[in-house]
Structure 1
């Protein structure tokens, strides 16, 4: 299933994209796509629906974050060896774990707003894991059983604040609009192997990132097991898993986002994002 939340910010309705790509309204069945719907029982209930009998949604509404109820937005750094190399860092021996703010989360076509005075805002296409079953000290073998589905994430990063204002990466990762997610959540049953997904990112139509989840240093199961030892993962929580090479800070000379740019990105089978970049505003 492809699950969505569509409509104006703060007024999103639950929906489903059917096999023909038609957006269907789920508001007559469930109130939201939240922790209850992301549970195995909730997903099983939605899977029984006849999508073609649900009301079709007219037009092309905005797609919001495709699920609600997150308590954590966990991120993994330097999880592709070639990306570590382009940034001048060694390949980690253990996952590099940091946090993005929940307030950074937004829809797949919403504007990315540059922080005040920013000249080093960068892009990162990433695979996001959405938790469906509470995970606490889970084994690697059982880790994927706790997944509701997968999403596209852009881990937008302000490199000056990330690298030049002390050792805490979170400073450059949690600005407003720095976490586009979606456009939809693809349930686990439709992604039999999350380690075989191609991924890409362009800026203004020019290729920047090309990669595959095959080259992760730590795979999805390992990351879930590791993070679940550090904190309890609840239904609706998200882990974004690192980025392949091609980020702006690794270019020669480095290139960063500016107002008027458009960032397009996608992951095989998980949909595409298209985010305009705008200057800071209160």
Structure 2
């Protein structure tokens, strides 16, 4: 077999540590769920009616991944850099058009994550009917803790989720308040994508999102899953 050559080095494998294992979880895709808590949807002035609407998503590149505990520079192009605290679901088995009864079998584990957002750019794009990429899919915008294998946790239905900035609580809710729960999200996504091991689903953020500045320390927690931490550095 002829060895393949490339014009430059291919992109490295982006991965996360796994609790209790020396092996790391390679990340394939990052799916993010928009407006999946009623109170957050209201604060974003876009209420959700589950009876007439379905979930919607945006994607972050795997290259945006940042491991918990790091310091990232305040991003360019924004004056309104926001945190969004989320439960992250890690997919461990392939699935396409799965049923709600089988959805839990695709879950490898969970993590605590931050969907960092250039809010001003997102809102401009939203009002103009344009994609959100500049506001959401930018370098070092997907922060994630280690992956905790699901094990006996099964499919999470409840659990406190909260976030603090410099020790002051900003977000506080419960996973039971997700508009579309974990099973429903897996079922819905699998109607459009062949879900694969290494896919991450950021399941949505509660109300209380807000701006941070250089020097701020963000800490988040999901009961039964773990903690995430990010320090905002100076702009590059």
Fold shared, TM-score > 0.5 on shorter chain: yes
> Hey, which of these two has a bigger chunk of strand by percent?
2
Contact 1:111-1:177 at 8 Å conserved across structures: no
Give the corresponding residue for 1:268.
223
What's the CA shift string for 1:141-176, capped at 9, x where partnerless?
111111101111101111112111343123211211
Contact kept in structure 1, 2:115 and 2:142, CA below 8 Å: yes
Q: Which residue of 1 aligns with 2:85?
A: 125
Match status 1:113 vs 2:68: no
Distance 2:43 2:193 in 1: 30
Name the residue aligned to 2:163: 201
- What TM-score do you get using the length of structure 1 for normalisation? 0.73
TM-superposed CA distance for 1:16, in Å, is 4.1
1:81 aligns with 2:38: yes
Following superposition, the deviation at residue 202 of structure 1 comes to 0.4
SS, match of residue 176 in structure 2: helix
Q: Compute the TM-score of the two structures, normalised by the length of structure 2.
A: 0.86
C-alpha change, 1:205 and 1:153, in structure 2 (3 Å) is same
Q: Which residue of 2 aligns with 1:6?
A: none
Per-residue displacement from partner, 1:226-270 (whole Å, max 9, x unpaired)?
Answer: 11111111101101100111111xxxxxxx111111101110121
Unaligned runs of 5+ in 1: 1-8, 18-24, 27-31, 34-66, 249-255
Deviation at 1:14, TM superposition (A): 6.0
- Distance in 2, matches of 1:115 and 1:275, equals 14
Map Cα deviations across residues 67-120 of structure 1 (whole Å, 9 max, x no partner).
21x221000000001111111112151101111121111111112322214211
Instruction: Give the Cα–Cα distance (whole angstroms) in 2 for the partners of residues 153 and 246 of structure 1.
Output: 16
Question: Does 2:123 match 1:163?
Answer: yes
Question: Within 1, Cα distance between the matches of 2:62 and 2:118?
Answer: 17
CA contact (8 A) 2:104 2:154 kept: no
Instruction: Please state if 1:258 is matched with 2:213.
Output: yes
Partner of residue 144 from structure 1, selected from 104, 109, 131: 104
Q: Aligned to 1:237, which of 189, 199, 216? A: 199
Partners in 1 of 2:204 and 2:220 — Cα distance? 14
1:212 and 2:178 correspond? no
Shift of 1:13: 9.6
SS in structure 2 at match of 1:95 = coil
After superposition, the Cα gap between the structure-2 partners of 1:71 and 1:225, relative to the gap in structure 1 and judged at 3 Å, is same
Distance 2:141 2:218 in 1: 12
* Corresponding residue for residue 96 of structure 1: 56
Q: Is the 8 A contact 2:114 2:142 kept in 1?
A: yes
Cα shift readout 1:186-240 (whole Å, capped 9, x = no counterpart): 1122423412111110011111000111001000000001111111111011011
Greater Cα offset, 264-273 or 108-117: 108-117
Higher RCO (C-alpha under 8 Å, 6+ residues apart): 2
Stretches of structure 2 lacking an aligned partner (at least 5 in a row) = 1-11
